[in-house]
A = this chain, B = another copy of it.
């Protein structure tokens, strides 16, 4: 998956991912009203409008960007009907040449983690093979530790899929836990040289928690059968664009870890902010923008009301902005 993703980024010259975060406010009122006429059951109508909106975005950005990142929560909101919409949106994206990064942020233990790994794993049921979920990669939450990640690594060894583990998220509240200074008791982690309070990463050395998690992600990604052909692991990291210094630091610490970088645009980060997340060859990153692209129809005067056109132009602008700093 990581090699496919890097190839597509290369071909399109576009390290951009479009976040499909269809909040009700981003869906035009007429689209919602139409769906309410077309479907009797309100959750079905809401899910359908959300899907229709997402497909219009997909039509417009296919061939320009390599990937979309639907966030499952918006679909989950409408229950079973929402999942139908999620499922169809993912498959539609596939069939329009886009890779799908399912932003699911799952994390659980043992047999439960194995069940979540079905997001990426083909299942044999009644002798037939099923790919229940249509995702090329998913995001994972590391709070439950190694045994919450292992079942996914087992899948990555045999299937062309990927994961992105949350290391440092883009939101203000990420500081509450992720920025805590931790005393590492795992010198084997060797995440780097600490942040000034210690030289080398040994017992008693202090680093921010996200650096410790970076060490874990690096270790997980270095396992057998997980490295891609272009020097990047199938185990990537989520690193928020809103923390430029942190991103640069994490790039140093994790030279073989591909970054999924949310927070561009509407959340405030610019091309300059993410420049140092890339390696010296200008690789190793896919930058995500959600509202800045899918909500462009509300703010782009020239394309007012034209969802697809506005999204396409916004994606092209973002591609050029990032291209200019690399």
Q: Could you list which residues of chain A lie within 8 angstroms of chain B, going by C-beta atoms?
A: 21, 23, 36, 42-43, 45-46, 71, 73-74, 76-80, 83-84, 87, 103, 105-113, 115-116, 118-119, 123, 125-126, 128, 130, 132-133, 141-148, 166, 169-186, 206, 209, 212-213, 216
Give the docked Cα–Cα distance between A142 and B123 (Å).
Answer: 31
The answer to whether A183 and B206 have CB atoms under 8 Å apart is yes
The one of B178, B184, B186 that contacts A145, using a Cβ cutoff of 8 Å: B178
Which residue of the partner chain, among B108, B172, B182, contacts A180 with CB atoms under 8 Å? B182
Complex CA gap A130/B103 in Å reads 25
Whose C-beta in chain B lies nearest to the C-beta of A143?
Answer: B143
Complex CA gap A118/B80 in Å reads 13
Q: Per a CB cutoff under 8 Å, which of B148, B171, B182 touches A147?
A: B171
What's the least CB distance linking A279 to chain B, in Å?
A: 26
Question: Are A142 and B145 CB-contacts (below 8 A) given A21-B112, A105-B107?
Answer: no
A and B contact pairs by CB, cutoff 8 A, 25 listed? A36-B126, A45-B125, A73-B108, A73-B113, A74-B115, A76-B115, A76-B116, A77-B118, A77-B132, A78-B118, A103-B108, A105-B106, A105-B107, A105-B108, A105-B144, A141-B143, A144-B169, A144-B173, A145-B171, A145-B176, A147-B171, A148-B171, A180-B185, A181-B182, A209-B209
Residues of chain B contacted by A216 (CB below 8 angstroms): 176-177
Whether the pair A142, B143 counts as a contact (CB closer than 8 A) is yes
Docked complex Cα distance between A170 and B106 (Å): 17
Q: Contacting A143 at CB < 8 Å: which of B46, B103, B177?
A: B177
- Cα–Cα distance between A216 and B178 once the two chains are bound (Å): 13
